């Protein structure tokens, strides 16, 4: 689907007035008067989370490097009690093996980066390194149950004693973007980095952990401007998880709501991308105009039964490991719990509201998906 910001304004206005019913148009978002005040530590830009030891752990996000505004809180799932662990400086959080790991800046006046692990009701610092503007850390990933940190110019993996970092320089340039999401296949031999630049696309890159080689992953079936199914110029990647069926592959979600909706779920194996799922809707309006739109996906996560979950602004999908759709659930109303809008009504997952995608599109509040149980990501 072509981007509507790449056509003349007058034509866009005519198209906009032509449609009488646009269920996937971003104007359906809540008005300002309905906006919650947001969490005092996380704000409304919640970037992700995990369930660990009976608690829901959530981290905030920021669009500026090293601004220190990203915090970390936990909510006890038994009584909804809340604890602030870090008010700022959190870069990423992952459940890796049997551990909950956090990458953070302990102070804002240095470039020191610390990997901390949750032990006996507190975080203990495990290993550290010095970063720079040219080698800014992007993501913490789970590589075969071991923590790996991907930065702008390098990959760092832990030594056997888990106190020193082995550093490999990247061979190639990472694309960069407003938001990044990273994941590894079950084999743990590479990192796939998805970029979300909203209406300006994003795409996907693969980094080999052993060599540091960076590869662009693309697939354009036609010569049309925004042809896909994976086009870095037009497809923002919002989630990357291991493929539960293929140990050398990942699943990636594409999602954009920028006047109209656009998205799909892909399987990526090396450089090859294939379409797993796409739901299309035809909008009918005045003057006989028709427009094909597809649902935008904002999150993927592995399911305890060996399949995976996927979420849009309106629906939670449950898939088998082969990508066959098994169930659909309408999203429930999200209600405030200790200042965070969420729901635990759906089976096996927690749905949390965030405005992270709003920072790069007109999507408004969008949901993120956190599994209550199942494989660590």
Distances (CA, A) of 296 to 95, 204, 221, 236, 367: 26, 17, 20, 10, 11
pLDDT for the residue 286: 59
For residues 300 and 144, what is the distance between their CA atoms, to the nearest angstrom? Answer: 19
Q: In what order do the strands lie in the sheet with 349-354?
A: 335-337, 340-343, 349-354, 366-371
pLDDT for the residue 32: 35
pLDDT for the residue 374: 53
pLDDT for the residue 287: 72
Residue-range domain boundaries for the chain: 41-145, 170-377
- Domain 170-377 fold: Neuraminidase (2.120.10)
For residue 365, what are its two tokens?
A: 């509040």
For residues 365 and 151, what is the distance between their CA atoms, to the nearest angstrom? Answer: 29
Contact between 359 and 345 under an 8 Å Cβ cutoff? The reply is no
Residue numbers of the chain with a pLDDT score lower than 70: 1-39, 43-44, 62-69, 285-286, 373-377
pLDDT for the residue 329: 95
Contact between 185 and 248 under an 8 Å Cβ cutoff? The reply is yes
Return the bridge partners of 73, or none: 58, 84
């Amino acid at each position: 689907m072509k981007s509507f910001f790449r056509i003349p304004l007058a034509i866009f206005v005519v198209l906009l007035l032509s449609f009488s019913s646009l269920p996937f148009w971003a104007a359906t978002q809540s008005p300002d008067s309905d906006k919650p005040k947001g969490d005092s530590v996380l704000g409304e830009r919640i970037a992700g989370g995990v369930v660990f030891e009976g608690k829901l752990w959530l981290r905030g996000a920021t669009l500026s490097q090293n601004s220190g505004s990203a915090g970390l809180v936990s909510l006890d799932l038994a009584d909804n009690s809340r604890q602030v662990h870090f008010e700022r400086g959190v870069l990423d959080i992952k459940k890796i093996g049997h551990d909950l790991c956090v990458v953070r800046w302990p102070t804002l006046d240095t470039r020191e980066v610390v990997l901390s692990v949750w032990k006996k009701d507190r975080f203990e610092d495990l290993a550290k390194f010095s970063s720079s503007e040219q080698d800014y850390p992007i993501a913490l990933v789970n590589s075969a149950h071991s923590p790996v940190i991907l930065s702008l110019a390098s990959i760092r993996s832990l030594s056997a004693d888990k106190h020193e970092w082995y550093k490999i320089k990247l061979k190639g340039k990472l694309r960069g973007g407003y938001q990044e999401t990273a994941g590894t296949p079950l084999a743990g031999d590479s990192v796939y980095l998805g970029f979300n630049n909203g209406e300006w696309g994003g795409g996907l890159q693969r980094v080999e952990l052993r060599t540091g080689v960076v590869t662009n992953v693309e697939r354009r079936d036609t010569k049309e401007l925004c042809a896909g199914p994976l086009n870095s110029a037009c497809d923002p990647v919002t989630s990357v998880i291991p493929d539960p069926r293929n140990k050398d592959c990942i699943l990636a979600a594409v999602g954009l709501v920028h006047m109209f909706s656009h998205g799909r779920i892909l399987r990526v194996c090396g450089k090859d991308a294939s379409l797993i799922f796409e739901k299309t809707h035809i909008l009918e309006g005045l003057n006989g105009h028709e427009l094909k739109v597809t649902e935008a996906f904002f999150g993927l996560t592995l399911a305890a039964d060996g399949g995976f979950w996927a979420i849009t602004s309106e629906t939670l999908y449950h898939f088998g490991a082969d990508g066959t759709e098994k169930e659909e659930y309408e999203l429930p109303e999200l209600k405030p719990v200790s200042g965070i809008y969420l729901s635990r009504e759906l089976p096996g997952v927690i749905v949390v509201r965030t405005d992270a995608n709003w920072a790069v599109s007109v999507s408004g509040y969008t949901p993120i998906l956190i599994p209550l149980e199942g494989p660590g990501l």
